[in-house]
Structure 1
């Protein structure tokens, strides 16, 4: 018998087959939250896209069924069904039940592939309570069924067909996932992005959960050129740059297989102050960039500087334009296809294939140089915009440095009306950004002074999506925010910004505003600020939104608080709460003057429109106390659509906000009467 705390062989556990996936699903799909749930769909769709990139599939359809099961259909070659030479079982069963079994480890089946590790579809199988796969191949329709990674029905022939392809239907396992309800918009956005990256591939998504099924189809003959136009919708584009630039290149014909690749780049400048540069490798979004993005940025900066010097736009005494200068207002998509991509980790967030840096740099250098020589008017406009950006960036740098100096000077007395906390360990501390002096006063009196700091805001902060860095950093409110948080900002001002997340003074930054329209507006403005200048705080999970109550139902001497849930109107939530408390609903009662009056029996209801309407003790117990409060962590699941939403809803083009309001007006729950 092993002694207590003794470490021996019996402590070493061996997980066979797909058991490891079920034990540690986060290692394979990122998380068991909604993000991981949707990743299951992406894994199967990626396999279908690989068939399209190989030239065998032209259509993919995704259906969300009423029970939240998913069906993915493609018209590719179909997963092989013959007897596997090693495992001696159908190859379909090998692919579905064995990790690292696939046709993507050499270049015989797929010259280009997004799914590299052979874990995608088998992981989906492991994390599904039920899965049915049908393969149309060799004139027949084959079917197999699985559950939680194991075969439940052997392969059988269920029909005949002249077509080919694979149909996969799966039911996510509620034992694994926090939710098994798919979000239509999340899937829609990903599928639209995939259609942009695969010219002329037709992708359809259907949602059968509504009485009238919702169906959308995506197919773009212009590929990433159409993608750039889509990303630039809502932005003003200079007249001379209305047509996106499109560049292509490929490796030499005699290049070794592991250094074989193709490059597509499309770009277009607009009049905004921010850049949107997206990079993809084999259709996989690489949010952390990598070698292809490095090659693009290096070539872009050099070519524009060389052109400006050659055309004598930049004089000898002038400094070179920086990368930030030439990329201000740039929207670009870089898409590379390569036979043996090297990614950093299973999440594939960064491309590490070094030869791609050289190939992209060569493609952009040669292609953009030719474009500028053939389009001198557009070339001068691009350089002029970069020069204007350089001047504004220098002014913004001065404003930011003033903010930094102010921060150093105010180490003892922090900015604005900040009431700091006594604890200095950022992992333990919280900053509440509060709307108004009244609420700020209640928050200061009700807080835990050791770990909770309060920063009241006076009015609405600037909409930083509509102004340049110079105006943003000149704002006293924004200076106070930057100084209080302590990290600096991520904007590139010629030196790439000075953001340092290790200098964050608080690891919980909580936006606390009134539960009304004005409060929602301030919340959106603050989130826009964090998205543009401090996004790593969001990615690290440091940014939260407080959820104050909207009603207090007082029964005798006890108050029961009612919180919004985002799904129901306020009156509906209140009525449910009253019923749950076993109270009689309010009833109309005729008075002497004949006018109906509402009478409540044994209780009173108070509507909290402002945080200042609660006394410090109430505010603390309902909204600030870690034991009783409700916080919503701010996350960004899709950077492309997040950027688009910020641009359209917070930008200068009114038409997009009007269209959004018209489309979503019936979903509004908490507008003031």
Structure 2
């Protein structure tokens, strides 16, 4: 898996009431059992064996986790990506909890099968992808399709670890592709006079690609391993990809001409939008410091330390403003539900919506093509809505807008959902809070017949500032849910079906999942 923060196994061990490690190596089976990070036995040498491998069995500590939930979809997605990245490797996932049939992944063509999956339903410019593989001091494997789409979708990996922020390997690959396309276009005199030169962003537009490298001593930037930083692989990858892509283009002239035509269309669009962008920038600069009146800003200027809570309504906004830490926590109160952007085609119309205008002015990082993450004013953007279905609807509307027009906020880990309680349970001098019906029932079961009173919060505005701070806003006691996207294509389709204009698609979507719905009556 590659671990996380360098402490993956040790943290799982520490937070498990039961942890068993079994390893088959050096001709024997070896076992050791732990509980909450402490050994329950020494390392035991078992029977002789020819088997090789490791098995970890663990059970999360219920004293730490009030709810234990493993995302089966996430486990499947990660397992499948490992199978794609290691051609011929067989991985089986079995969910015994729900009694589902085991799922087996095996891809003999590796990332070529992966790219075929990614571009499904997309119009391709080059029907046969550019594929390249080489192994010297390190191994590189990459595959690329150009499409008529206006976005770019790159998946980069180092030692089978997803480097979501790219890094040296991805930059070098893109540089090599740019040089190859530019050289081919110049040799064939395909570049018109109004386009002085093909830029990297022209080559990237509509590009769907995968790069995977195996490096002996990977240097990751940050503990979450989201970016590779091995400068010694930059030049070799750049040169190798350039030479291989040039050979690919020369061997497929008809396809190559289509790729260049696609790149030149992107260049023309870039030049045409530059003047418009400068006009918009001038207009925005005059509005830069006009922050909305509904914003109670924080005093800290450090982006990494500051948080923005987005709430709905003046009542919730009032409670949140009193509960916050004025130094690091800002509160923006929206009036009612924001526009459903999935049903509005024009960004210009979307930006006339007052609540969206207030949101954009508060965040400060622009939208769509003008999005600039470096201008984001807060390190965490927390959607804090009521714990009922109305609150969930508002959160989905906000997420729809962010996913469609500010996806960088999600991909860089800035969007979170607050987890306010729905129930308050008083038993004698003790008070408990539950986020949903299931957690409420667990708490009641632990009371062992003691007298109790259960209250249901109608909304955030009904909570006192002290309760709101303790349960939902204080970093010391709250629970936040980080918003992440595992499969962009599948996520996009969910928003389209659930929030789009087609009522039939929405009905079918809800009907398919009706058995999983929680009624909030």
Q: Same fold (TM over 0.5)?
A: yes
1:225 aligns with 2:225: no
1:517: how far off?
6.0
CA gap 1:360/1:636 in 2 versus in 1, 3 angstroms: farther
Structure 1 segment 251-266 matched on structure 2, within 5 A: 251=136, 260-266=137-143
Partner in structure 2 of residue 8 of structure 1: none
1:386 aligns with 2:259: no
1:225: how far off?
1.0
Q: Is the 8 A contact 2:15 2:61 kept in 1?
A: no
Structure 1 segment 263-302 matched on structure 2, within 5 A: 263-302=140-179
1:227: how far off?
1.2
Structure 1 segment 454-469 matched on structure 2, within 5 A: 454-456=332-334, 460-461=338-339, 463=341
Output the CA distance in 1 between the equivalents of 2:284 and 2:90.
54
1:414 to 264, 278, 291: 291
Q: Is the 8 A contact 1:508 1:543 kept in 2?
A: yes
Deviations 1:398-448 (A, max 9, x none): 666555444432355435xx423265325687644455xxx3x43455553
Q: Is the 8 A contact 2:21 2:55 kept in 1?
A: yes
> Aligned with 1:207: secondary structure?
coil
1:669 to 511, 518, 521: 518
> Aligned with 1:356: secondary structure?
helix
1:635 to 464, 482, 506: 482
Which segments of 5 or more consecutive residues in structure 2 lack a partner in the other structure?
426-430
1:382: how far off?
2.8
1:189 aligns with 2:66: no
Output the CA distance in 2 between the equivalents of 1:192 and 1:648.
20
Partner in structure 1 of residue 373 of structure 2: 499
The structure whose Rg is larger is 1
Output the CA distance in 2 between the equivalents of 1:149 and 1:358.
47
Structure 1 segment 162-561 matched on structure 2, within 5 A: 163-171=50-58, 174=61, 182-210=70-98, 212-233=99-120, 236-238=121-123, 240-251=125-136, 260-344=137-221, 347-393=224-270, 404-411=281-288, 413-415=290-292, 418-421=293-296, 423-426=298-301, 431-434=308-311, 439=313, 441-443=314-316, 446=319, 448=321, 452-456=330-334, 460-461=338-339, 463=341, 478-488=356-366, 498-500=372-374, 504=377, 506-507=378-379, 509-513=381-385, 520-531=392-403, 534=406, 537=409, 542-546=414-418
Q: Is the 8 A contact 1:277 1:331 kept in 2?
A: yes
1:669: how far off?
1.7
Q: Is the 8 A contact 2:413 2:483 kept in 1?
A: no
Output the CA distance in 2 between the equivalents of 1:456 and 1:398.
33
Deviations 1:98-152 (A, max 9, x none): xxxxxxxxxxxxxxxxxxxxxxxx88778875434242765xx533334357593
Output the CA distance in 1 between the equivalents of 2:14 and 2:309.
42
CA gap 1:200/1:472 in 2 versus in 1, 3 angstroms: farther
Q: Is the 8 A contact 2:30 2:44 kept in 1?
A: yes
Partner in structure 1 of residue 428 of structure 2: none
Output the CA distance in 2 between the equivalents of 1:636 and 1:131.
31
> Aligned with 2:491: secondary structure?
helix
1:488: how far off?
3.9
CA gap 1:373/1:565 in 2 versus in 1, 3 angstroms: farther
CA gap 1:151/1:218 in 2 versus in 1, 3 angstroms: same
Q: Is the 8 A contact 1:538 1:634 kept in 2?
A: no
CA gap 1:366/1:222 in 2 versus in 1, 3 angstroms: same
Output the CA distance in 1 between the equivalents of 2:457 and 2:64.
36
Output the CA distance in 1 between the equivalents of 2:437 and 2:205.
37
Partner in structure 1 of residue 436 of structure 2: 565
Output the CA distance in 2 between the equivalents of 1:244 and 1:275.
15
> Aligned with 1:272: secondary structure?
coil
1:469: how far off?
7.8
Partner in structure 2 of residue 84 of structure 1: none
CA gap 1:200/1:430 in 2 versus in 1, 3 angstroms: closer
CA gap 1:512/1:552 in 2 versus in 1, 3 angstroms: same
CA gap 1:209/1:402 in 2 versus in 1, 3 angstroms: same
Output the CA distance in 1 between the equivalents of 2:12 and 2:186.
55
Q: Is the 8 A contact 1:539 1:635 kept in 2?
A: no
1:266: how far off?
1.0
1:197: how far off?
0.4
1:544: how far off?
3.5
Q: Is the 8 A contact 1:273 1:468 kept in 2?
A: no
1:174: how far off?
3.6
1:629: how far off?
3.9
> Aligned with 1:425: secondary structure?
coil
> Could you tell me the TM-score, scaled by structure 2's length?
0.75
- Measured on the aligned residues, the alpha-carbon RMSD in Å equals 4.8
Q: Is the 8 A contact 1:130 1:170 kept in 2?
A: yes
> Aligned with 1:500: secondary structure?
helix
Output the CA distance in 1 between the equivalents of 2:260 and 2:393.
37
1:135 aligns with 2:24: yes
Structure 1 segment 71-90 matched on structure 2, within 5 A: none
Partner in structure 2 of residue 648 of structure 1: 493
Partner in structure 1 of residue 469 of structure 2: 626
CA gap 1:322/1:300 in 2 versus in 1, 3 angstroms: same
Which segments of 5 or more consecutive residues in structure 1 lack a partner in the other structure?
1-27, 41-121, 252-259, 554-559, 584-602
> Could you tell me the TM-score, scaled by structure 1's length?
0.60
1:529: how far off?
4.1
1:30 aligns with 2:5: yes
